[in-house]
Structure 1
Amino acid sequence: MEYVTQYITADIKLSEFKGKLFKTEVMFEHHMLVWFLSGETKIIQADATHIFTAGDIFLIPRNQLATIINYPKDGLPHKAVAMHLTKERLSDFYARHPTAGKATPLKKIYSFSKHPLLESCLASLIPYFDLGESLPSNIADLKMEEAISILRSVDPQVDALLADFAEPGKINLTDFMERHYMFNMNLERFAYLTGRSLATFRRDFKKAFNAKPQHWLTEKRLALAHYQLAEKKRKASDIYMEAGFENLSHFSHAFKKQFGYSPQAIY
């Protein structure tokens, strides 16, 4: 198998991927703290693109749309340790360790660039993966508590994010969709992130764009792809995933149907 995930607790895992690349559209239910052992990851958000390599440590906020593309690198597989920081665990932590005051959470990816304290905390988990043993619950609690405490000390701004337990509220649908149309999510996810039921999302979408969501999404993604090919001179194989398509064949078929010529005709 090319992709393997090994858990030592329900919230701590080691993932390893040996294929050419692995791409997914995600919206994590929980904050995720990641430490790279090898390989490379590109994370594409509406406002930024991040590239992480071996040794990097970063925190991905929950309820944020992202395209994640994982690659092996330098002959080594894509391999990473990840901690899921659940709302339940964080709620318990902040009940015992209150924040100094109320602050607006920054919905961004926090990078900690090979921080020695975080690296030491996460490296201490590796023997359990090597032995194939579960982490005793009391040790797991201590390691998660240690990781949260280090995050707070390294970047005090992270408190505002980790101590925010609110669910997405109803937001401006037009602005959200214009910024996130390239993410290949189902309509239920788009509805949730804009604070709507699916029925209300469809109704509001029709009112805002005078189009059905799926038709509008396809046209927007193809327009983005055309721009990347014609203006940025990029290759179809490099941009189809970033434009929200599952595979190159589907992208090429949709592109030719929309424009009357294949993506390769632009080169």
Structure 2
Amino acid sequence: MKLVRYGEPGQEKPGLIDAEGALRDLSAHVPDITGATLDEATLDRLRALDPAELPPVAGTPRLGACVGDIGKYLCIGLNYSDHAAETGLPIPEHPILFMKANSAIVGPNDDVYLPRGSESSDWEVELGVVIGKPAKYVSEAEALDYVAGYCVCNDVSERHFQTQLSGQWTKGKSCDTFGPTGPWMVTRDEIADVQNLSMWLDVNGKRMQNGSTKTMIFTVAQIVAHLSELFTLQPGDVISTGTPPGVGMGMKPEPVYLKPGDVMEVGIEGLGEQRQDVKMDA
């Protein structure tokens, strides 16, 4: 299933994308797509519905983040071997973890606003993992059983804030609008091999990132298992699992960063595409 949330910010309704790509309303069956509705029993109940009998949604409404009321937005750094190589940094021994503030989360096609004074804002296409049930001390072998589904994330990053303002990477990752998430959550059963998905990101129509989840250093299962040893993963938590090469910071001979007027287009095989206009915050 492709589960989606549509409507104005703060007023999103639950929906489903049918086999023809049409948006169908799920409001009569679940109040929203959140951690409270990602358990297997609820997902099985939604799978049993006939999409043709669900009310069609007219027009092209705004899409919100594909999961509402996200508890924790967890991010893994330097998790692609080819991206680590372009940064010149060593392969990490354990997953590098940082947080993205929930106030950064926006819909997949919402505008991205560069913070005041930003001259080093960057793009990062990433695979998002949505947790479906509480995970604590789970093994790698069982880790994917705790995943409800997957989505596209753009881990927008202000590199000066991230690396030069002291403290954690979170500073450069948490600016308002720096977490486009969606367009939809694709349930786990529809992705045959999460470690073999092509992914890409264009800026102004030019392909900047062109990678695959097969070059992940730590797999989704390894990440979920590792994080569950540190704290309980809760339903509705999102893990953004790292980016392939091609970020602006790694461009040669000089870095290339986002500026007002730019357009980012972001996609992952089987998970849909995003589009963001870049603007300067007031």
Fold match (TM-score > 0.5): no
Structure number having the greater strand percentage: 2
Q: Counting helix residues as a fraction of each chain, which structure ranks higher?
A: 1
TM range (shorter): under 0.3
Question: Larger C-alpha radius of gyration, 1 or 2?
Answer: 1
Q: Which has the higher contact order (CA 8 A, sep 6+)?
A: 2
Please report the TM-score for the alignment, with normalisation by the length of structure 2: 0.23
TM-score when normalising by structure 1: 0.24
